[in-house]
Structure 1
Amino acid sequence: MSVKIQIIFYSSYGHIYQMAEGMAAGAREVEGAEVRLLQVPELVPDEVLEKSGAKAARQAFAHIPVATVEQLPEADAIIFGTPTRFGNMCAQMRNFLDQTGSLWMNGSLVGKVGSVFSSTATQHGGQETTLTSFHTTLLHQGMIIVGLPYSETRQMTMSEISGGSPYGASTITSGDGSRMPSENELAMARFQGRHVAEIAKKQAQK
């Protein structure tokens, strides 16, 4: 039996994109999983992106198709990835989700699996509040929320700086964005992707 997994993300400098690729790699380990990476539309003007260095960084994942709201009901599970903006999801992701009112009205996402991952610039920069506040939107859509269970013991790592919580995988970028996801963080992303795909497959078999 096939199960369709969408990984929908926004990334400025590639941190969330790398985590999204980790999620995809994990999900593809599940037999029958059809995984698709999609990114939400950009809202920031080109000149601003260029000044911040984000325009050049975004070329690494410019080949990823842009998501549309109409595609969401095709999935059995959707994994969302967003950087943190002051303890919340980024505006690009919020704007995308705010266009799903018709899906809410029709119950189009009810019973589908939903999961979230994030990034922050500092250890306590809001990765957990971003994940848990994102869950509120998924609950309004009637989705089944899946996090990162403690059976993934890498989230208990104390020997190095690392993201990851029971709410979802995450990465810490450092204030200037120079730190890319560590192997520990990418491993948690792979675990979460696989975990979501396994649960979605079980749901589809009912």
Structure 2
Amino acid sequence: MSIKILVLYYSRHGSTQALARQIARGIESIPDCEAVLRTVEDITPHGEPIEPIVTLTELRECDGLALGSPVWFGNMSGSMKHFWDSTTPLWLNGDLIDKPACVFTSSSSLHGGQETTQQTMMLPLLHHGMMILGIPYSEPLLHTTQSGGTPYGASSTGHSASLTKDEMELAQKLGKRLAKVAIKQKEVQL
């Protein structure tokens, strides 16, 4: 059984991209799981996209979703919101119902709005009927990290595209959890 998990993100300065790549590493550490890295169209272009632009078909056909955006005033980026506003056809068909999903974010400061941004990214996923996964408090790093990481999902702080060891590990663990749940969900559907 092959599992494809879409790691969909928007990144302006590289931190969210770095998290996406760590989540992908976690996903691909689980046998038969593939991470498909994609981005969204930039509504305020600032250069060539780092990854291919996602299509609605790729979203419809994925077995799970990791969704990431930098913090923009405590919210997801305008480009990411614009993409989700285009997903009405998938919503009408119920194409994403019961698929597992998680969220991740980056901010330039510790109190920049990470958790509210993660919550705003969860809202369209809930409307689509997806199952939201976070990082449970049974994960010891949540109790000791001095940088990113929340029970809502993976995160990073600071302007640098370099992640701390804790941020990398928490992102990988979130990717592994998403992959394991995606496998279980696909087995139920078979």
Residue 153 of structure 1: CA displacement?
Answer: 1.6
Counterpart AA for 1:14? G
Identity of aligned residues (%): 39
Do the aligned partners of 1:120 and 1:171 also contact (CA within 8 Å) in 2?
A: yes
Do the aligned partners of 2:67 and 2:121 also contact (CA within 8 Å) in 1?
A: no
Q: Name the SS of the counterpart of 1:191 in structure 2.
A: helix
Counterpart AA for 1:168? G
Distance in 1 (CA, whole Å) between partners of 2:119 and 2:143 is 19
Distance in 2 (CA, whole Å) between partners of 1:145 and 1:199 is 11
For the pair 1:129 / 2:111, whether they are aligned, the reply is no
Q: Name the SS of the counterpart of 2:12 in structure 1.
A: coil
Distance in 2 (CA, whole Å) between partners of 1:17 and 1:187 is 15
Question: Which protein shows a greater Rg?
Answer: 1
Tell me what 1:167 maps to.
152
Do the aligned partners of 1:3 and 1:200 also contact (CA within 8 Å) in 2?
A: yes
Tell me what 1:23 maps to.
23
CA RMSD across the alignment: 1.4
Q: Name the SS of the counterpart of 2:34 in structure 1.
A: strand
Assess, with a 3 A threshold, how the Cα gap between structure 1 residues 179 and 39 changes in structure 2: closer, same or farther.
Answer: closer
Please list every run of 5 or more consecutive structure 1 residues that lacks an aligned counterpart in the other structure: 50-54
Tell me what 2:142 maps to.
155
Residue 118 of structure 1: CA displacement?
Answer: 0.3
Q: Name the SS of the counterpart of 2:71 in structure 1.
A: strand
Q: Name the SS of the counterpart of 2:81 in structure 1.
A: helix
Tell me what 2:9 maps to.
9
Please list every run of 5 or more consecutive structure 2 residues that lacks an aligned counterpart in the other structure: none
Assess, with a 3 A threshold, how the Cα gap between structure 1 residues 135 and 156 changes in structure 2: closer, same or farther.
Answer: same
Distance in 2 (CA, whole Å) between partners of 1:29 and 1:71 is 21
Tell me what 2:129 maps to.
142
Do the aligned partners of 1:69 and 1:96 also contact (CA within 8 Å) in 2?
A: no
1:94-121 deviation per Cα after TM superposition (whole angstroms, max 9, x unaligned): 0011100111011011111111000111
For the pair 1:106 / 2:115, whether they are aligned, the reply is no
Structure 1 segments of 4+ aligned residues over 4 angstroms from their partners: none
Residue 178 of structure 1: CA displacement?
Answer: 3.6
* Equivalences, count: 188
Tell me what 2:33 maps to.
33
Residue 151 of structure 1: CA displacement?
Answer: 2.5
